[in-house]
Structure 1
Amino acid sequence: MRASSRARAYGLLLGVVLDTLFADPSRGHPVAGFGRVAARLERAAYRDSRLAGVAYTAVLVGGPAVVASRVERGLARALTGSRGERRTRCGAGLAVTALTAVVTWAVLGGASLRREGRALGGELARSDVAAARRRLPSLCGRDPSVLDTGGLSRAGVESLAENTSDAVVAPLLWGAVGGLPGLVAYRAVNTLDAMVGYRNARYHRFGWAAARADDLANLVPARVCALLTCACAPVVGGSPARALRTLRRDGRRHPSPNAGMAEAAFAGAAGLRLGGELRYAHGVEHRPELGSGRRPGARDLQVAARLSAAVTVAAVGLSAGLAAVLAAVRPAAGGAR
């Protein structure tokens, strides 16, 4: 295995461990810092046009990705030294592993996602709807004031499903394929989509580029997440076959080309029925129903969090294996030339 890719695989694994142990800090998170920079640039650069949005997205995605690429290339060059430079190569390898681990921790959101989902489920189980409404914005952008226990439960389960893809599977796969630039660029795209990727009056044109970039970045990861969810269905007492049938039947019914894949797979795996009316700050949306089971209740948030954890473990193994395969293939391809 090529040393840089081996270090990358180790870094991804260690990054998931860091996320599991420490989750996201309440203050000083790098992604929150990026969000503040993006908000300032938006205030300066906003125009009601797609061209302005394209430039805004290109600067905020391309800039960090270029910096990460230069750092990784510099460390990779140190890894290709001669045998007499073993100390230098060892130090560079440890640096790649450590830096990849820290960046992976920064871009992942799985531990915080599961923690918030379980806490929401606990509040609903205690019939503390007021506390659950206060917590929901940490999971999704719906208006919690109009949601009852069932609506809050459904919102939480759907958020756990979608964000298992967006905040866990996708960054791990992009890290396996693209290393530090892949991790950084993906998180930048996903963050910008959450900030400006809305179809409302302000962002319909300006946020178009961020929304389309996020759709493309998640096209493959969302489907991988859905398949991993089907495979992990027994963890929550579900059937992989039923989950796969639900995915094939309902996955494309969602207006998002990606969110419906994860949500349909979660619905099938857990025996639930998701979708229906959604209330956001920008208005009401009506979504097709996904799955043919019962409507989610408070306890299903614990089930969804457990399923998300199982998918995370599977995604870690897949991404590390993918990094190893790419490491074996690339030197061979280079030798063939």
Structure 2
Amino acid sequence: MKAVLQERFGPPDFLRLQEVDRPRAGAGQVLVRVHAAALNPYDWHMMRGDPYAARLMGGMGLSRPKCRVAGIDAAGVVEAVGAGAGGLRPGTPVLGFCAGAFAEYACATAELVVPKPERLSFEQAAAVPMGAVTALRGIRTVGRVRAGQRVLVNGAGGGVGTFAVQIAAGLDAEVTGVCSAGSTELVRSLGAAHVIDYAREDFTDGRARYDVILDNVGNLPPGRLRRVLTPTGVLVANGGGSPGRVFGAIGSMLQLAAVNAVTRHSLRPITPATPGGPAHEDLLAVTALIQAGQVTPVIGRTYSLADTAEAMRHVEEGHSRGKTVITVR
């Protein structure tokens, strides 16, 4: 089968499309014939080996990538089922976290894939796992958004932000989206009551206050964001703008903990939506919202499997509109 390999940490140029053996589903796993895969900031962190602290913690490998085949988010059809992987049968269209998603076939823990909503194409379905689960956790689980609250989503035009705006609007919150000028109409169409072009307006100037802020960008210090929180407001940090390549998001979490100790506001990080964490219930929740027509994935660009390195460069620039997707077959 064809697969995109990363033999060592480094830039997108290190990614290679090669022929490799097809993986086999082990106990508790399913083998997925991949139709599409999506890219996330997580993927380029894994590609670069950033932050270094994650290498020491065993999250990505110490001197070279732990998983030779890149990619996590995938959608496709179950090809085979390993022992003890109940609930899914060959031929079932699925989406979820598949280690080595940038390939024609990938294995996944059975609990980390769920049936694909019928209304989605495979490209749309591939855009769901990490982005939608992270948004759901940020808005519903961590932010605890309720009807009537004022919610601001910073980075509203990106992969997580486009899901977050829809989820918050679906909870009957009054949503303000912060994005680039090129995404303002998109964000408004997703349910935002107000849209701010960050290049023309400073949303931290204090003219409006918010019950919940979901920060997907991390380009502003917590103290500045706290200015526009209500007295009991919540700042939800999605790990962006991590301080340096050594500690990454771990450093951001430590910063939030330090600020939390001296402020009445609540500053909370999102538990990352990764293939190693509990995600089954969250995947079911977001696919239910999608099936009900309340949430629709936004795809900014699509690439072929052979152009994965180019797609990774685009995502690494940090200005992706919606999700960037790889069409595999």
Instruction: Give the TM-score of the pair, scaled to structure 2.
Output: 0.28
Say which structure, 1 or 2, has more relative contact order (CA 8 Å, 6+ apart): 1
Instruction: Give the TM-score of the pair, scaled to structure 1.
Output: 0.28
Structure in which a larger fraction of residues adopt strand: 2
